Chain A
Amino acid sequence: MSGSLLTGTADGDRVALAVAGTWTADRAAELERMVDETAQRYEDARTVEIDLGRLERLDTFGAWLIERLKRDFAARGSTPHIIGLSDTDRALMEEVRLVNRSREEGSASSNRILVALDGIGRAMAEIGWSLILMAHLLGALTMVVLGTIAHPSRLRLTSIVHHLERVGWRAVPVVLLSTFLIGGIIAQQGIFHFRAFGAEVYVVDMVGILVLREVGVLLVCVMVAGRSGSAYTAELGAMKMREEVDALRTMGFDPVEVLVLPRIVALVVAVPMLTFLGSMAALYGAGLVCWLYGGMTPDIFLSRLREAIWLPTFAVGMIKAPFMALVIGLVACVEGFEVDGSATSLGLKTTASVVKSIFLVIVLDGFFAMFFAAIGM
């Protein structure tokens, strides 16, 4: 069957090739094999005659393969001719004669170690770059804040309230529920293990300090980063993609003032509130578990709690909250503005926004731990 598509007859160093049948996309793979075999078989030929007289159908795929056959012979030093070209196929053969002339060099096989090093280097440079961008945005934000203090009328109150509703009010149920559960789980684990030493009462100390200083604020920040930071990045990224950010700029608006400030102010206000609510819910959950599982009445839990914590314990958590909110907001906005035209980059930047903000929140928490230890809080 395939033999009839391309048949060759050699006569000394003259070769006559007869092309017949349908040379179309569906058979391209089969045709390519035949073309390569034929070029190989008659590689010593001096003159090659390619007869297209019995061709029934031809499309770009077939035309290109005939052209490739011709070029293969020409590259081996023989002189190929095409004869019997019908008028309908002439234009197409002319067209493919012009293509694929500038074959680019195949990419050099690269060393795996170099590729790995290249990747690490680029990642490092990108981390440095994103820190610079964050500093840049922080600076721009500071200028805008100072400007707003000088001219309070420039503050976009409606926008802030809108974002506050989205990142604050609407986040309350999920924050309350998860912190309540976490508080209960910590208490349950504490009671279970402390019971071996008969030290169940100290569970209250553990839960109180842990929740108010660390877990409350960290948990809320992780949730806010996943819930609101990602939304910020996606919104700003989509606005950037559709040139809305550029439109703002040309109308004389500062994107930092219009887009970034309301979002970050909303976060900085909302996160401490959520942290407070979350901590209370966690303590409530812990108290409930101590009562139902540990057999400790609420009276005892509360008086024990009052002895275990003092105001600075609570203050430590609350002081950290707005700074962490700032970090989440900055990272989200920086990544949003870094989105370029493609849908992939929107996805990548949204992921990066969440991962980076959670990581930076934890790093910041570490610094705060050292700072508060140094000043004795």
Chain B
Amino acid sequence: MASNQTVISVRDLVVGFGEATVLDHANLDVFEGEILGFVGGSGAGKSVLMRTIIGLFPKRNGTIEVFGTDLASLNEPQRRSIERRWGVLFQQGALFSSLTALQNVQFPIREYLDLSPRLLDEIALAKLEMVGLDADVGGKYPAELSGGMIKRVALARALALDPEIVFLDEPTSGLDPISAAAFDELIHTLQRTLGLSVFMVTHDLDSLHAVCDRIAVLFEGRVIAAGPIEAMLASEHPWLKSYFRGKRGRPRPSLN
């Protein structure tokens, strides 16, 4: 399924805040059509890398190429057209609290496309149903939704414009194992249906086993390993050993 075409290519990325250097010459590739699981210790800078790619944090050095274009070389309209081709699911959902679920999904569509109200409603409802929500969730405000529903609405919003890349920041954190497994499956299904490339920051070993084609590991500011789960399990690096083969990391049957 995954091709050899890179959609994201990060080279020698250095990111820091004040005195601290969080990412120190990190390199990373995401291939077209794959689900990349991105792991690392708490505070290792996983979210920082993701946020730097999508442009929320400034970088000190290095290049970030998305769809083969260096993001630093783009002007504002070109950058916007690239941003249109990715969707982001934030850890807490980051739904707009003053809009209903349906309006949240419509928000990016309304901004970029000029659609009739009917089609706008239909598409937004379709997205909500594709992430497994009932149509009546559409009229509710984020404050009235459960944690799992918020994540689904946020995913629907991330998918609103049919992006080619989706960034997921700990999509299953805060969900119970059943919901988390369902969410993993949903991501997998949508990835196949829509042909997405998925960049997933996660701590969930089950997710890594179940849906990730490849796993990249961030340790001390660098990506120290990237490869399928088998390679991770076989690795002799002490941190990888304790992460994947520690008490909570025992191999378990994959979901599919």
Contact = CB atoms under 8 A, between A and B. Distances in A.
Interface of A: 24-26, 28-29, 32, 59-61, 64-65, 68, 88, 91-92, 95-96, 98-100, 102-104, 340-344
B114 interface: yes
Shortest 7 CB-CB contacts between residues of A and residues of B: A341-B143, A342-B97, A344-B98, A59-B162, A99-B126, A99-B129, A91-B193
A66 to B, nearest CB: 12
A61 to B, nearest CB: 6
Interface of B: 97-98, 109, 112-116, 119, 122-123, 125-127, 129-130, 135-136, 141-144, 159, 161-162, 192-195
8 contacts: A29-B113, A64-B123, A99-B125, A100-B126, A104-B136, A341-B141, A342-B97, A342-B142
Nearest to A346: B97
State the majority secondary structure of interface residues on B. Answer: helix
B193 A95 contact: yes
A100 B116 CA distance: 16
Contacts of B192: 91
Contact of B122 (A25, A59, A68): A68
B143 A64 contact: no
A68 B118 CA distance: 12
A61 B193 CA distance: 13
B116 A29 contact: yes
A28 B129 contact: no
Given A341-B143, A343-B98, A99 B162 contact: no
Contacts of B193: 91-92, 95
B126 A25 contact: no
Given A25-B161, A104-B135, A343-B97, A59 B194 contact: yes
A344 B141 CA distance: 11
Contacts of A96: 126, 130
A25 B113 CA distance: 8
A60 B195 contact: no
Contacts of B123: 28, 60-61, 64
B186 to A, nearest CB: 11
Contact of B125 (A26, A91, A100): A100
B130 A99 contact: yes
Contacts of A88: 195
B111 to A, nearest CB: 12
B33 to A, nearest CB: 11
Nearest to A340: B143
Given A60-B130, A64-B123, 19 more contacts: A25-B109, A25-B113, A29-B115, A29-B116, A32-B115, A32-B116, A59-B162, A59-B194, A60-B159, A65-B119, A68-B122, A92-B193, A95-B193, A96-B126, A98-B129, A99-B129, A99-B130, A100-B129, A342-B142
Interface centre among B109, B143, B193 (most CB of A within 10 A): B193
B105 to A, nearest CB: 12
Q: Which of B109, B127, B135 has its CB near the most chain A CB atoms (within 10 A)?
A: B135
Nearest to A341: B143
Contacts of B122: 64, 68, 100
A32 B119 contact: yes
A341 B146 CA distance: 12
A325 to B, nearest CB: 32
